[in-house]
Structure 1
Amino acid sequence: MDIAVLGAAGTLGHHLVTHLEAAEHTVRALGRRTGVDAVTGDGLAEALQGTDLVIDAISTPSLSSRRAVATHTRAAGNIARAAEQGGARRVLCVSIAGAADPEVHKHFAYYRGKAAQEATYLDAALPVTLVRSTQWFEIAGLLLSQASFGPVALLPTMRMAPVSADRLAARIAREVEDRADDDSADRTFALRGPKELTSAQLVRRILARRGDIDGRSPRLVAELPYLGSAIAGGGLIPADAEVDDMDLEEWLRTSA
Structure 2
Amino acid sequence: MKVVVIGGTGLIGSKLVGRLADQGHEAIAASPSTGVNASTGEGLAEVLQGASVVVDVSNAPSWEEEAVMSFFRTGTTNLLKAEAEAGVQHHVVLSIVGTERLQEKNSYIRAKHVQENLIKTSGIPYSIVRATQFFELLGMLAEAEARDDGVHVAPVKIRPIHADDVAAAIACVAVGTPVNGTIEVAGPEEFRFDELIRETLSAKNDSRTVVPDPGAGYFGAPLEETTLLPAAGAGFGENRYADWLAQQK
Tell me which interval the TM-score lies in, with the shorter structure as reference length.
0.7 to 0.9
- Give the whole-Å Cα distance in 2 for the aligned partners of 1:72 and 1:210: 33
Letter in 1 for 2:200: I
What residue in structure 2 maps to residue 120 of structure 1? 118
Note the alpha carbon deviations across 1:206-229, whole angstroms, 9 max, x for none: 233343xxxxx3522335424343
- Which sits farther off after the overlay, 86-95 or 168-177? 168-177
SS in 2 for 1:233: coil
RMSD between aligned alpha carbons? 2.4
C-alpha distance 70-162 of structure 1, shift in aligned 2 (>3 A): same
Post-superposition offset of 1:69: 2.7
Letter in 2 for 1:243: F
- Given that 2:55 and 2:174 are in contact with CA atoms closer than 8 Å, whether structure 1 keeps it comes out as no
Note the alpha carbon deviations across 1:17-41, whole angstroms, 9 max, x for none: 1111111111111111112111122
What residue in structure 2 maps to residue 51 of structure 1? 51
- Give the whole-Å Cα distance in 2 for the aligned partners of 1:186 and 1:209: 41
Question: Does structure 1 residue 234 correspond to structure 2 residue 226?
Answer: yes
Post-superposition offset of 1:198: 4.2
Post-superposition offset of 1:202: 2.5
What residue in structure 2 maps to residue 28 of structure 1? 28
- Which sits farther off after the overlay, 115-124 or 138-147? 138-147
What residue in structure 1 maps to residue 132 of structure 2? 134
- Given that 1:140 and 1:199 are in contact with CA atoms closer than 8 Å, whether structure 2 keeps it comes out as no
Letter in 1 for 2:210: V
- Given that 1:151 and 1:218 are in contact with CA atoms closer than 8 Å, whether structure 2 keeps it comes out as no
Question: Does structure 1 residue 249 correspond to structure 2 residue 238?
Answer: no
- Given that 1:153 and 1:218 are in contact with CA atoms closer than 8 Å, whether structure 2 keeps it comes out as no
- Which sits farther off after the overlay, 23-32 or 190-199? 190-199
Question: Does structure 1 residue 225 correspond to structure 2 residue 223?
Answer: no
What residue in structure 2 maps to residue 163 of structure 1? 161
Among residues 177, 180, 188, which one is paired with 2:182 in the alignment? 188
TM-score normalised by L of structure 1: 0.84
Question: Does structure 1 residue 88 correspond to structure 2 residue 88?
Answer: yes
Post-superposition offset of 1:42: 1.8
Letter in 1 for 2:216: P
- Given that 1:52 and 1:89 are in contact with CA atoms closer than 8 Å, whether structure 2 keeps it comes out as yes
What residue in structure 1 maps to residue 68 of structure 2? 68
SS in 1 for 2:203: helix
Post-superposition offset of 1:174: 2.1
Listed as ranges, the gaps of 5+ residues in structure 1 are 212-216
Letter in 2 for 1:209: A
SS in 1 for 2:135: coil
Post-superposition offset of 1:152: 4.0
SS in 2 for 1:27: strand
- Which sits farther off after the overlay, 59-68 or 5-14? 59-68
Number of positions where the alignment pairs a residue of Structure 1 with one of Structure 2: 244
Post-superposition offset of 1:122: 0.5
Letter in 2 for 1:176: A
SS in 2 for 1:106: coil
Note the alpha carbon deviations across 1:127-174, whole angstroms, 9 max, x for none: 111001111111113224444468944456664211111011112222
